Amino acid sequence: CMQADSSRRPPPPRSCDTFVYVAGGGGPAATVFGKNADRPSDEAHEVMHCPAASHAPGSMLRCTHIEIPQVERTHAVVLSKPAWMWGCEIGANACGVVGGNEAVSSLLAHELGEEPRLLGMDLLRLALERGATARAAVGHLTSLLEEHGQGGACEEGGDWTYENGFLLADAGEAFVVETAGTRHWAVERVPPGKGRNISNGLSIRTGVESCSAGLKELCVAKGWWDGEGPFDWKRSVGAGGRAHAKLDVRGRERAGADHLAAAAGRVSDGSLPAGDVAGWLGWMAGVLRDEESGICFRSTHGFMSTGSQISWLARGGGHTASHFFTAASDPLVACYKRWTFGDPAAAAGDGLAGDGGSLALWRRWRSIDLAGRSVPEAMRRALLEIEAEAVSAAERGGASEFSGSVARELELISSFAV
């Protein structure tokens, strides 16, 4: 078969893992979502709230590298993101849509070149700002990809670039979106009662619900698909149509699939009831803290889990959802702190302005890591109390306390002189 030019192939993605278990159909009572954003360990990460906004017709929007036309109305969002970048690694909107972005690599990666376009993180933020449902967010994402393309430096001061994969979800369904080259894409739907994970690699096989125009014809022309059997996205654009060991689910992707299978087993035997909010949130936190598999990635001077998010998406609108962020460079030591958008009839969220202190917290934890200081056991217990209070608030449906929790965590670090 024909081989793609590999002169501009990006370095292999290091680490990122995203999970969803969709509500209903024998699954949890609400959709549970989680992601670790694994980035260069010295890249500051912030949690930022952007309110809903109206924009003048014909106005332009500056993304990380390029400008594109702005829409007239954007939804309120909360984003977990590299501080230097316009886009986000993980986030949610006030309509109850969440999403995460990951680096992937295909045989069309050489198309990226050096031209600046939209980053995958830009595409994710745009999808959240514009999409009132997960399906609508997917539509915005794929349309923007086709119109503007993806590409450009994905690290501050560097030229590292990559193709992207996404997982978007709401209370009723989820979607995996994977890309190849500058403008091609494929989508797989995750129905109610099913779990799905992605881990820095192409993962969609023959369950393609929709794909970019001309993709299948391109694969036939390149000899990656015979045009007759079921279209296998990963085998075609990831392996040139050949049987290959890389087609197997392995590594962190396998570990993540095993976590989802274990949760399904617990649902079946009754040990994880559908409505057990604390049980489901604790399960997802445990998955994202799985250091042995590499899902929780820890490296002081390499790549590490620089941000982490968990979301509980109950039916009834975005104001019923709870989102939890570490706002720290290691989910094993920091606690998850709860954010809500609040009742739309009242003031949105908890009044978080800017990053709500999250950037200061991230930098404090980073300095602790660089100094090689350990966290006292008493402090660990106090941090887990903050997390337990956040989970309890989600069970009760209480108001957001993200900024206050960030302040408490900063005070704990100071009081223990870590």
Is residue 347 packed enough to be buried (19+ CB in 10 Å), middle (13-18) or exposed (0-12)? exposed
Tokens 């192939």 locate to 9
Query: Which residues pair with residue 36 across a beta bridge?
Result: 17, 308
Q: How far apart are CA 145 and CA 298, in angstroms?
A: 32
Q: How far apart are CA 258 and CA 336, in angstroms?
A: 23
Is residue 415 packed enough to be buried (19+ CB in 10 Å), middle (13-18) or exposed (0-12)? exposed
What contacts 62, CB < 8 A, 6 or more positions away?
86
How many alpha carbons lie under 13 Å from residue 272 in its C-beta half-sphere? Answer: 23
- Under DSSP, the state recorded for 283 is H
Q: How far apart are CA 214 and CA 218, in angstroms?
A: 6
Q: How far apart are CA 347 and CA 357, in angstroms?
A: 20
| SS3 state at 318 | helix
| SS3 state at 405 | helix
| SS3 state at 122 | helix
- For 43, the token pair is 């890249």
Catalytic, 88? Answer no
Secondary structure E strands in 199-321: 210-211, 303-313
Give the active site residue among 16, 50, 211, 335: 16
Q: How far apart are CA 238 and CA 253, in angstroms?
A: 16
Is residue 301 packed enough to be buried (19+ CB in 10 Å), middle (13-18) or exposed (0-12)? exposed
- The helix (run of H) or strand (run of E) holding residue 187 is strand 184-190
As annotated, the active-site residues are 16
